[in-house]
A and B are shown apart, each in its own frame.
Chain A
């Protein structure tokens, strides 16, 4: 992948805050793709987003947006580069007394590619009609809709979305996901989205990156996730699996459940062929995250 075709590239990002460290985090978001960022609270997702947005300085590594390192750009070029990035915060982080209409005007004045008609269209699609209400009177869902309508109309090519669906009811969540899918139909666009609601990412992301304790634990494509499985094994079955040598020591993530063991299987079809008597189900992102973070390496 050429750097020009990458909308975002993070290479070996390092940052320490007290006893928390972001350690050698690398990821790539090519044009036309969605990267889902998952991890527990405090894993480092928001810190990584802050590093991408330049609100914190990295101690090591680099961030490139559209092939350019923002830290090395003169002011004019930096502003032009930032006009290609739209950020949605996990909370409605606007001045509390201004109205949604005034917030949209702020975006219109700062993004040269902002389209008023597109903003109105987005508001209609998201069923948002409280443009003249102060931000402080909006619910979390309404606030998220304002943020989304603003960035989707901004003319940005890369969206950084921090938990955009958290706290939203299922209907609004689905509306938001639909709008994002539709936005992605434009050329050269991409999204970096963090979410605790992994089912959202299963239907949206092309790549999923799991961060745990400040480091990337797994970086895999949707196809690789579709191949993964969770084997439900009795103790004797687990011993058999480990002793067969089909999995090298230190490669199998196993979690003890009440009466059985759950093991993360990288290729469930091959596994089902090799062990037809063992139960294996497709692995969801939640399963993968739980087994990789909480599981024991065997």
Chain B
């Protein structure tokens, strides 16, 4: 397992340049758009910058890493060679789930620090005061982004382990299409109701942490179930 994690990590390390470039672009665009909007106060600018860098920047690179790793498995037959090493197929699957979870968590933390730093600089320059998102809002953003990413991967990974990148590419947009269901009024009403209920519960408790914890636990459980399904699928796959 260590070997697989090392190999994936070493490969992704080589993509650091593109990560830095994309995060630089996202930071630049988000900061420019936020500070050039005269209708925004310092708090809103900080929130916009930090949440976008955390959620969009970090998750975008996490998905890039996901495709990168599955792509290199197929390239030149690395998957066959990898399976000839003293590793089990279960380890290959669990290793990939682990590395993706680590990447997302690390990127969200980097995004949180970077976002706070940029928000502080931008608000100081524009408003003359250091303004950043409250820590609890950063935690909420991280928890929601992490849960969303884990749920997305929990759906996608079994498809990729079954078909490999080339064939599974056709299906990677499925969760995005699923999001289009939100355009339907009944779906919108359902989720608005759900959000309102959660809001009420959070108000009663006086703190959103328990709800976020439940969300994270649900995402983690789905992610774990997905890894079991992927292992079963992958054990039957031929190369």
Contacts and interface: CB of A to CB of B under 8 A. Distances in A.
Interface of A: 50, 53-57, 75, 78-80, 82-83, 85-87, 89, 91-98, 102, 105-112, 134, 160
Of the candidates A82, A98, A112, the one having the most CB atoms from chain B within 10 angstroms of its own CB is A98
8 contacts: A50-B80, A55-B239, A57-B238, A91-B77, A93-B78, A94-B78, A95-B72, A96-B72
- For the complex of A and B, the 6 pairs showing the least CB-CB separation, nearest first, are A110-B3, A87-B84, A109-B3, A97-B14, A93-B77, A83-B86
B3 A107 contact: yes
**Interface residues of A, dominant DSSP:** mixed
Contacts of B236: 57
B85 A107 contact: yes
Given A50-B239, A97-B14, A109-B2, A89 B80 contact: yes
A221 B77 CA distance: 32
A91 B80 CA distance: 11
A50 B3 CA distance: 21
A28 B37 CA distance: 76
B90 interface: yes
B64 interface: no
Interface residues of B, number: 27
A55 B238 CA distance: 6
Of the candidates B76, B81, B236, the one having the most CB atoms from chain A within 10 angstroms of its own CB is B81
Contacts of B3: 106-110
Interface of B: 2-4, 6-7, 10-11, 14-15, 72, 75-78, 80-81, 83-88, 90-91, 236, 238-239
Contacts of B75: 95-96
A98 B2 contact: no
Contacts of B80: 50, 53, 55, 89, 93
Contact of B10 (A91, A102, A108, A160): A102
Contacts of A79: 86-88, 91
A94 B81 contact: yes
Contacts of A83: 86
A75 B88 contact: yes
B75 to A, nearest CB: 6
Contacts of A50: 80, 238-239
Nearest to A99: B10
A50 B236 CA distance: 14
A110 B87 contact: yes
B6 A53 contact: no
Nearest to B2: A109
Contacts of B14: 97-98, 134
B83 A53 contact: yes
A78 B88 contact: yes
B6 A82 contact: no
B135 to A, nearest CB: 37
Contact of B11 (A97, A107, A108): A97
A82 B81 CA distance: 12
B84 A111 contact: no
Of the candidates B14, B75, B85, B90, the one having the most CB atoms from chain A within 10 angstroms of its own CB is B85
Nearest to A80: B86
Nearest to A113: B86
Contacts of B78: 93-95
B84 A106 contact: no
A106 B83 contact: no
A82 B84 contact: yes
Nearest to B8: A95
B6 A87 contact: no
Contacts of A95: 7, 10-11, 72, 75, 78
A106 B7 contact: yes
B81 A109 contact: no
A98 B2 CA distance: 16
B6 A105 contact: yes
A75 B72 CA distance: 25
Contacts of B88: 75, 78-79
Given A93-B80, A98-B10, A102-B10, A111 B72 contact: no
Nearest to A79: B86
Given A55-B80, A86-B84, A93-B78, 4 more contacts: A82-B84, A94-B81, A96-B76, A110-B3
B24 to A, nearest CB: 21
A93 B76 CA distance: 5
Of the candidates A50, A75, A109, A110, the one having the most CB atoms from chain B within 10 angstroms of its own CB is A110
Given A75-B90, A109-B6, A111-B85, A56 B72 contact: no
Contacts of B86: 79-80, 82-83, 110-112
A53 B84 CA distance: 6
B10 A82 contact: no
B185 to A, nearest CB: 47
B28 to A, nearest CB: 26
